[in-house]
Structure 1
């Protein structure tokens, strides 16, 4: 049963419905509202972050197509923006009643299906990737490891980024890796994993790619590359990440081809591995994500502003206004929240004493991501090296907020 907020909006602008109302959706809701849109946030959690800022909200079971269709029928949105992957539910898009859907249902499905996405990228589009295989049992995985050699990474075919990931270094690692991947996989692909050769690369890069459709047809724009390093409990990001001219051209070509194949409008976070002038495709998310959080300080239009503008059919630009860096901290499990400390303001005062620093604190588990964000430290500077140092110093101080 849907729970509706009592407030209504008098805006004459478009109505945008967000399916999934986590931390990313909260920022996206604000971006749409700045452009005059009325935002309806939908989630299974009555206290979801986007519900606090949306014009209206509804609480429904997110994997129930009939319940979602009823909300769409009642609210009659102009745009439906999937932040939680629910449009991948079989038959759901046919119940949306002709409303414009973003990302496209195909993009949602493939973003949740590593096998389908990798086969599209490598087999159909011919994009360079690390060698990969798929296994439906521990025995098949063992045979792949014997054939391909070590090391190998193993991930569930479907699941949140990073969940269930293991690195195989020797034969006895196969069974534990299989068990871990299967435990983290989704019910739609309960017994299938992807194995990849570990490629010796210099960098991991996110290329935020904005796809728009104008009078002359589809076009894509690229933000400055974002470098990142995931240390498990912390994600460090920085922008710009310098690429050679050849690598930059290759990255843009790969991103444009995969994004145009998926179609639709909006921001796509294209994940790449870089070794010298060589670039390999690894993944794409058809929505704003964690690696792009720093764009709220580094770009004239953040990833959320870009996503909202592209979906609404408005002009975009990808101008970077300052080099910057961020460090995002995560909890070990979903139950942990930011500690409510009596000295919180004193800690924040010390944290923000770092030049050009800023912080973002989170206190809810995001519907769209299994990892629980605790907070982000963001800093800008005249060059990216100084920005990374400032972000790191800010993060060290910020972590005291959730240390017991």
Structure 2
């Protein structure tokens, strides 16, 4: 099988490499500053763990590589303006939005979008960074340099957040995981819960939406679609053209993980729908050190990224799954006192989702 080079050597590239090993697929996550002659890219399939990157000698070479999968799609989806324009073109539901070009636009914006607006940088903002919640009067405190660099969305009052992780291969076949329920706090994903039998209406709606996007773009590989649940319908929040944080539970909760599924898709290997037989929970580890006590619980799978621990930084995650929800809830209750207090709300939320 062809080797795979991953542009970016963070945790997603690391987990793609780990997924390739049992299949005999050599996966090389490479830093953006690597020297081209040190990277075995000539006969490899190229993928990426990031949506945007600076121009370096390596990225200049890879930009012209004929086997760089989705190369021209990354810049389209990395910019929230062109991403929203794509969703509008496909008549897919999102929160009302517009470009933010000048401070003089605010009276019209509040009149059109209401009294809560969410300002987002077109590129670069993630995990709550580069975003502002704005009510009338707050706009005067925004930095001047954001104008022309942001979009603004209507603040949505939603009952939940979900994501759909799916993949498309070169032949246009698409497969999906069950919807994942997500809890964000301060813009950062704290916990996810996936159930083997999701809400049928929402699952079908989400699959129809993401299929339309994948097919329009002729995208190959794994993509994640984050949505708000509003009543009985979904509004698309954002797209991620890569393996995604909210799909990490698939490492232990599905017959094929999102990382293996991505490799299968880009290498044109068989891509059956992954079997999901048990409820799963993922707890993001953010700015915390490893606690060996977690491993005393037999359902806990620790995935550590071997990164320097810093406040607000994703350094690992815990996966838990079991066919009996009560056993899973019992383990979460045992895990809770082993975690810092900042994790308790996420664990309580997961316990509620499993009840």
- TM-score, normalized by the shorter chain, greater than 0.5: yes
Pairing of 1:2-401 with structure 2 (within 5 A)? 13-44=1-32, 59-60=33-34, 68=36, 75-86=41-52, 96-102=63-69, 104-122=70-88, 124-161=89-126, 162-168=128-134, 170-176=135-141, 178-179=142-143, 182=146, 191-213=148-170, 217-232=171-186, 235-240=190-195, 243-317=198-272, 318-331=274-287, 339=289, 347-349=291-293, 351-364=294-307, 372-383=313-324, 387=328, 390-391=331-332, 393-394=334-335, 396-399=337-340
- Does the 8 Å contact 2:192/2:282 carry over to 1? yes
- Does the 8 Å contact 1:17/1:77 carry over to 2? no
Query: Separation in 1 of the partners of 2:176 and 2:150?
Result: 32
User: How many corresponding residue pairs?
Assistant: 338
SS class of match (2:124): coil
SS class of match (1:201): coil
Query: Separation in 2 of the partners of 1:327 and 1:120?
Result: 32
Query: Separation in 2 of the partners of 1:235 and 1:179?
Result: 28
Query: Structure 1's 80 and 290: CA in aligned 2 closer, same or farther, altered over 3 A?
Result: same
RMSD: 3.2
Deviations 1:344-395 (A, max 9, x none): 6xx423x2333512222334279xxx96213322211335576466447536
1:43 Cα deviation after fit: 0.5
Query: Structure 1's 128 and 359: CA in aligned 2 closer, same or farther, altered over 3 A?
Result: same
- Does the 8 Å contact 2:118/2:131 carry over to 1? yes
SS class of match (1:171): coil
TM-score normalised to the size of structure 2? 0.83
Query: Separation in 2 of the partners of 1:386 and 1:136?
Result: 53
Query: Structure 1's 385 and 291: CA in aligned 2 closer, same or farther, altered over 3 A?
Result: farther
Query: Structure 1's 28 and 365: CA in aligned 2 closer, same or farther, altered over 3 A?
Result: farther
SS class of match (1:100): coil
Query: Structure 1's 197 and 172: CA in aligned 2 closer, same or farther, altered over 3 A?
Result: same
Query: Separation in 1 of the partners of 2:76 and 2:38?
Result: 25
Aligned residue number for residue 349 of structure 2: none
- Does the 8 Å contact 1:239/1:323 carry over to 2? yes
Query: Separation in 2 of the partners of 1:235 and 1:388?
Result: 17
Query: Separation in 1 of the partners of 2:144 and 2:320?
Result: 36
1:319 Cα deviation after fit: 0.9
Aligned residue number for residue 54 of structure 1: none
Query: Structure 1's 117 and 17: CA in aligned 2 closer, same or farther, altered over 3 A?
Result: same
Query: Separation in 1 of the partners of 2:19 and 2:144?
Result: 38
Query: Structure 1's 146 and 386: CA in aligned 2 closer, same or farther, altered over 3 A?
Result: farther
Query: Separation in 2 of the partners of 1:165 and 1:97?
Result: 33
TM-score normalised to the size of structure 1? 0.74
- Does the 8 Å contact 1:356/1:380 carry over to 2? yes
1:24 Cα deviation after fit: 1.0
- Does the 8 Å contact 1:18/1:42 carry over to 2? yes
1:32 Cα deviation after fit: 2.2
Query: Structure 1's 116 and 305: CA in aligned 2 closer, same or farther, altered over 3 A?
Result: same
Query: Structure 1's 85 and 130: CA in aligned 2 closer, same or farther, altered over 3 A?
Result: closer
Aligned residue number for residue 48 of structure 1: none
Aligned residue number for residue 350 of structure 2: none
Query: Structure 1's 112 and 361: CA in aligned 2 closer, same or farther, altered over 3 A?
Result: same
SS class of match (1:374): strand
Query: Structure 1's 179 and 241: CA in aligned 2 closer, same or farther, altered over 3 A?
Result: farther
SS class of match (2:296): coil
Query: Structure 1's 360 and 87: CA in aligned 2 closer, same or farther, altered over 3 A?
Result: closer
Deviations 1:205-248 (A, max 9, x none): 111111013xxx31111111101011136611000286543322
